[in-house]
Structure 1
Amino acid sequence: MAVRLRLMRMGKKKQPTYRVVAADARSPRDGRFIEIVGTYNPRTEPSEVKIDSAKAVHWLRHGAQPSARVKKLLELTGAWDDFKSGKTPEVIAAAQAKEAEAAAAESASA
């Protein structure tokens, strides 16, 4: 099964938002997918991109091929650098948890 990381269109007519998903390459664009990796909203200024780096790196390590746009989004969020540097999904998840704790502590003290 060839897995691709690609965009799945969501939202209303003429108001697109996208999910970044891991899906079988043979399935339709908005069809079945394996896992949601993140979201992308191009309609906000600046565009809103949320990608779970650990999930993205997991799928890239297992041979998933990103589409051209998803590769740019991965580069924008730093997930592509994590993949190229050889970090494991566990290390990335631990770093994300530590960042979330620091942000929560900072907002609680403010």
Structure 2
Amino acid sequence: MVRIRLTRMGRRNRPFYRIVVVDSRKRRDGSYIDSLGFYDPLKDPAVMNVNVERAVDWILKGAQPTETARSILSKFGVMKKVHEIKSSKEKGEASEE
């Protein structure tokens, strides 16, 4: 399964994270398929950046975000867009019948 999760970067005691698309069997910091953005929890307030279009595309293709990645993506409205797209497709299919 393909997951959207955080991979740790930075040095000791100064972490920042990349939000990446990765095969679930790979290691946390192993090779990844696509990078969607980053998250820096040490800044005040925490700095986050996400490519919304690519994140929506990956979720529609079946990528499952982890809990932490899901909360970050929700702050950018990714999960809401995915829900709207899926519900509009379901309505379109229902109206064709």
Normalising by the residue count of structure 2, what TM-score does the alignment of the two structures yield? 0.86
Pairs within 5 Å for 1:1-110: 2-86=1-85
Please tell me the residue identity of whatever aligns with 1:39. F
Structure with more contact order per residue of length (Cα contacts < 8 Å, sep ≥ 6): 2
Where has structure 1 moved over 6 Å in runs of 4 or more?
none
Query: In 2, distance between residues paired with 1:45 and 1:8?
Result: 21
- Other-structure match for 1:95: none
Deviation, structure 1 residue 19: 0.2
Q: Which amino acid aligns with 2:37?
A: G
8 Å Cα contact 1:49-1:77 kept in structure 2: no
Cα distance in structure 2, aligned partners of 1:81 and 1:49: 18
Identity %: 36
Structure with greater strand share of residues: 2
Could you say which structure has the higher helix fraction? 1
8 Å Cα contact 1:51-1:74 kept in structure 2 = yes
The residue aligned with 1:107 is none
DSSP 3-state at the match of 2:25: coil
Deviation string for 1:45-84 (max 9, x for gaps)? 1111100001100110010000000000011111111111
* One-letter code aligned to 1:76: K
RMSD: 1.0
Amino acid at match of 2:59: L
Provide TM-score, normalisation by structure 1: 0.76
Task: Report the residue type matching 1:35 in the other structure.
Answer: D
